[in-house]
Structure formats: C-alpha cells, structure tokens
Amino acid sequence: MCAAAQAPAKSFANLLSTAKGIKKFKKKIPPVEAITQIVDSGKSVLPVELSKRLEFIVIYDEKMKNRMAQASESMFHNLYEKSTNEIDRAKLNAYMHYSMFFIKAPVVIALIQKSPFEANLNDMIKAMEICSEIYHLDIFELMPQLNAHRDFADILGFEKPAQVLTILSVGYTESN
C-alpha cells in the first residue's frame, strides 16, 4: 500500500496558476494494480464512517469520458451565456479549455458522495497523489465539472442524493 500524506491537495485554481500544471497525457494505460493502489491509498486516510459514504468510479471508457466532457462543455456554455461581464466570459473560456483535458487522460476517477456529508478530502487526494508518484503517474483534480453533476449522474449511472465530489485524471504525462 502507498504511504498517506498530510499536505493539502492541489486545487483547480492552483492547477490553472502554474503552466506546468497542464500536461499532455500519453496514451499508455496505467496498470490496474497501480489504479487500485491509488484508490486504496485515498480510502486508507479516511475515517471508516466517511469511506462508507463514498464510491470511487474508475473510468477507462473513451465514450463515457467524452460524454462527461460534453456535459462539462455544455455547463460552461450555459454559464457563458448567462454572464454579462467580459472578464467573467474570458475566465470561463479559459477554464473550459483547461478543464477539458481530463478526457485525454487514460483513466478518470470520479469520487461519488452517496449521501450528504461535510468533510475535508484534501488528505485523501494528497495520499492518492503521492501513491501515483510511486508508479510515475500524474494525477490532477478537476473541480469545475461539479456543476455538471446532474448530467454526470446519468452518465455514470447513479441516483440522487449521490453526486460527484471531484474528478481525478490519472496517467503518464509527457514529462514522465
């Protein structure tokens, strides 16, 4: 099992603020045991009661990732149309561009909240990031897609009150 960590996870804002945060994924699919260990490392830092309220959905299917991307893109377009401020529109365009890169990841992990709760998941995500480094994989957390959670529920096949908490893109990047 991979070692757990205590540092805060990368936020989407941090991801956008660093040029090295956005990388090109290689097509090489990570081994199943690596993905299993990454998920297990995240679960291992959670209290048992909290882990029972979460589900990790590992997505390899290109069609499903494309459907998720379309839902995200639609959400961004709706927000853009409602915006009257050019600065906000420019930010939305930039966020949409950067947030769509998750579909190029060979693996996407959707973290599903099965019932409502409040918890800080930074330690869990940091543990997953550290474990991914052991396998020379990069993992990126992408939050803006959460506004598309109703569409994601249909795409991923879960029902209310469950919803997507976050999306993690996992893969080998050009720098690896």
Domain ranges of the chain: 12-171
Q: How far is CA 129 from CA 62, 122, 126, 141, in A?
A: 23, 10, 5, 9
pLDDT at 147 over 60: no
Mean pLDDT calculated for residue range 124-143: 91
CATH 3.40.109.10 corresponds to the domain 12-171: yes
pLDDT at 93 over 80: no
Q: Which residue has the higher pLDDT, 34 or 89?
A: 34
pLDDT band at 41 (very low <50, low <70, confident <90, very high): very high
Q: Looking at the whole model, is its pTM more than 0.85?
A: no
pLDDT at 19 over 70: no
pLDDT band at 69 (very low <50, low <70, confident <90, very high): confident
Highest mean pLDDT among 1-5, 88-92, 126-130: 126-130
- The SS3 of residue 56 is strand
What span, in angstroms and rounded, lies between the C-alpha atoms of 120 and 118? 7
What span, in angstroms and rounded, lies between the C-alpha atoms of 25 and 140? 11
Phi, psi angle pair for 110, to nearest 5°: -100, 125
Of the ranges 36-45, 92-101, 144-153, which one carries the lowest mean pLDDT score?
A: 144-153
